[in-house]
Amino acid sequence: MHEMTLAELARDLADRRFSSEELTRHCLARIERFAGALNCFISVVPQEALAAARAADQRIARGEAGPLTGIPIAHKDIFCTDGIRTTCGSRILDNFIAPYDATVVARLKDAGTVLIGKTNMDEFAMGSSNESSYYGPVKNPWHPAKVPGGSSGGSAAAVAARLVPAATGTDTGGSIRQPAALTGLMGFKPTYGRVSRYGMIAFASSLDQAGALTRSAEDAALMLGAMAGFDPRDSTSAREPVPDYRAALGSGIAGRKIGVPREFFDPGLDNDNAACVQAALNVLEKLGAEVVELRLPHLHLSVPTYYVVAPAECSSNLSRFDGVRFGHRAKDPRNLLDMYKRTRGEGFGAEVKRRIMTGTYVLSTGYYDAYYLQAQKVRQLIAQDFAAAFEKVDVLMGPTTPTPAFDIGAKTGDPVTMYLNDIYTIGAPLAGLPAVSVPCGEVTGLPVGLQIIGRHFAEADLLNFAHVYQRETDWHTHAPAGYVEAAA
């Protein structure tokens, strides 16, 4: 069963070839067997999952099932789940149990999915390799010494190892697409505002967006269909209607224009990785698409811009973790200030502290104009570059990451080297654009991703490009060795 995609499982559940309870037990057995070594789950909830699976089976029997009814999924541990611990990968929330569900969680629950557990992640989603989690690094199922990418690395490892057919993720500067690329998955970050942020613990509110890690574009369409839509509880949620994403799959791409920004092929890009992206472009060209080279002149400024804007917003968002309202509180404080200081000192890890300090600095009087305001202006220029490109082409394509998965520990000593890993993924969220990563090859046995960026709310078009590509190629069907062959 674990070899099947979400769409195939949904079909067989509807045909009653197996029950949701059987499928859920199968996933739980695989989690029991593999998740420990991968360190991809922070919490697993077998009792709740089996109860939800039995309820889904009844719903299927009553003929009231939707396409996701009875499908086991995992949520990144950034989404609040009523009654189930939500840690955000941080010691400060190690004991936090939310009293409500995030909108994403509630919607996927309404669709009949079975929540099986919460996945490991970089602390507060800050990271590119899933090494900043309080719960330890996640391992890449393709190679245990390699990172799975971050910050949604637990979700990526769980789906890549075929422990669950799909998982949620969040992307602020690449955290869905990057782990998807490094673990051979489809990673989908919708337009800013497409999916509600209510109950999704905030990192950088003007950039954060929820999405999914799946194995195919069709599966991503199914997940997005359930997650997307206006939410009055999120003031930046879009009122745009939600189309039937799956129905939009399969249209031809003849005559469609693909822009390839020259900035995506900079000297930092691994040659073999570049060759895989080029081969993918050739496939799409054969299907009739036209490939056009173009420029995004300010894209090279996206890393410094993001690493001012995101820390600024996080320093403000994370001020709510003060030991009074949520989670960890330092023992025996001498006074209020001592409680604040020690709670935050003990509760946050090094990367989070670094971001809070940088963010506080760039927002302080005297530096605000020089850094924060300047970054906002450059952000505008980057967004304008994308807008100009989309006057000429339908989508933009390039690599998702500069290299395949790197060794655990290789970049933790130098934050700037780590930040540079986000060079190709940060542009889209700065401009609020939707983007996906699709597996497009393997380099030294490790997967690499093709990134596709689209116009605002052109999710259906992006999914279609990915789907058409997946019909022609089989990279997305490759599984890491040792996970598909195994019986349980």
Selected binder of ligand GLN within 67, 70, 112, 127 (CB under 6 A):
127
CB of 369 to ligand GLN, least distance (A): 24
The verdict on 179 binding ligand GLN (CB under 6 A) reads: no
CB of 266 to ligand GLN, least distance (A): 18
Which residue number, 14 or 383, has a Cβ lying nearer to ligand GLN? 383
Confirm whether 76 is a catalytic residue: yes
Tokens coding 387:
């807008």
Among residues 20, 129, 132, 175, the one annotated as catalytic is 175
Selected binder of ligand GLN within 13, 73, 125, 227 (CB under 6 A):
125
Of the candidate spans 3-11, 125-133, 373-381, 478-486, the one that interacts with ligand GLN by CB under 6 A turns out to be 125-133
Selected binder of ligand GLN within 174, 199, 225, 427 (CB under 6 A):
174
Backbone angles phi, psi at 226, to 5 degrees: -80, -30
Which residue number, 176 or 284, has a Cβ lying nearer to ligand GLN? 176
Of the candidate spans 2-10, 137-145, 172-180, 213-221, the one that interacts with ligand GLN by CB under 6 A turns out to be 172-180
Q: Which residues of 153-175 are buried (b: 16+ CB within 10 A; e: fewer)?
A: bbbbbbbbbbbbbbbbbbbbbbb
CB of 352 to ligand GLN, least distance (A): 10
How buried is 320 (Cβ within 10 angstroms: 0-12 exposed, 13-18 middle, 19+ buried)? Answer: exposed
In whole angstroms, what is the distance from residue 172 CA to residue 456 CA?
16
List strands edge to edge, sheet with 290-294.
41-44, 114-119, 72-76, 167-171, 209-214, 186-189, 435-443, 446-453, 395-399, 257-261, 290-294
Which residue number, 49 or 186, has a Cβ lying nearer to ligand GLN? 186
The verdict on 128 binding ligand GLN (CB under 6 A) reads: yes
The verdict on 213 binding ligand GLN (CB under 6 A) reads: no
Which residue number, 44 or 210, has a Cβ lying nearer to ligand GLN? 210
Among residues 43, 76, 90, 196, the one annotated as catalytic is 76
The verdict on 431 binding ligand GLN (CB under 6 A) reads: no
CB of 137 to ligand GLN, least distance (A): 15
Which residue number, 72 or 153, has a Cβ lying nearer to ligand GLN? 153
Confirm whether 175 is a catalytic residue: yes
- Give the chain as a 3 state SS string: CCCCCHHHHHHHHHCCCCCHHHHHHHHHHHHHHHHHHHCCEEEECHHHHHHHHHHHHHHHHCCCCCCCCCCEEEEECCECECCEECCCCCHHHCCCECCCCCHHHHHHHHCCCEEEEEECCCHHHCCCCCCCCCCCCCCECCECCECCCCCCHHHHHHHHCCCCCCEEEEECCCCCHHHHHHHCCEEEECCCCCECCCCECCCCCCCCEEEEEECCHHHHHHHHHHHECCCCCCCCCCCCCCCCCCCCCCCCCCCCEEEEEHHHHCCCCCHHHHHHHHHHHHHHHHCCCEEEEECCCCHHHHHHHHHHHHHHHHHHHHHHCCCCCCCCCCCCCCCHHHHHHHHHHHHCCHHHHHHHHHHHHHHCCCCHHHHHHHHHHHHHHHHHHHHHHHHHCCEEEEECCCCCCCECCCCCCCHHHHHHCCCCCCHHHHCCCCEEEEEEEEECCEEEEEEEECCCCCHHHHHHHHHHHHHHCCHHHCCCCCCCCCCC
Among residues 128, 133, 151, 237, the one annotated as catalytic is 151
Selected binder of ligand GLN within 21, 101, 131, 171 (CB under 6 A):
171
Q: According to CB under 6 A, which residues from 282 to 321 bind ligand GLN? A: 310
The verdict on 172 binding ligand GLN (CB under 6 A) reads: yes
Which residue number, 194 or 467, has a Cβ lying nearer to ligand GLN? 194
Q: According to CB under 6 A, which residues from 141 to 170 bind ligand GLN? A: 151
CB of 126 to ligand GLN, least distance (A): 5
Which residue number, 6 or 418, has a Cβ lying nearer to ligand GLN? 418
CB of 289 to ligand GLN, least distance (A): 28
Query: Which residues are CB-neighbours of 472 under 8 A, at least 6 positions away?
Result: 283, 287
Confirm whether 437 is a catalytic residue: no
Selected binder of ligand GLN within 89, 141, 173, 439 (CB under 6 A):
173
Count of positions on this chain that bind ligand GLN (CB under 6 A)? 13
CB of 395 to ligand GLN, least distance (A): 21
Selected binder of ligand GLN within 87, 113, 175, 400 (CB under 6 A):
175
Selected binder of ligand GLN within 104, 114, 126, 159 (CB under 6 A):
126
Which residue number, 175 or 191, has a Cβ lying nearer to ligand GLN? 175
Which residue number, 113 or 175, has a Cβ lying nearer to ligand GLN? 175
Contact positions toward ligand GLN, by CB under 6 A?
A: 125-128, 151, 171-175, 203, 310, 422
The residues carrying an active-site annotation are 76, 151, 175
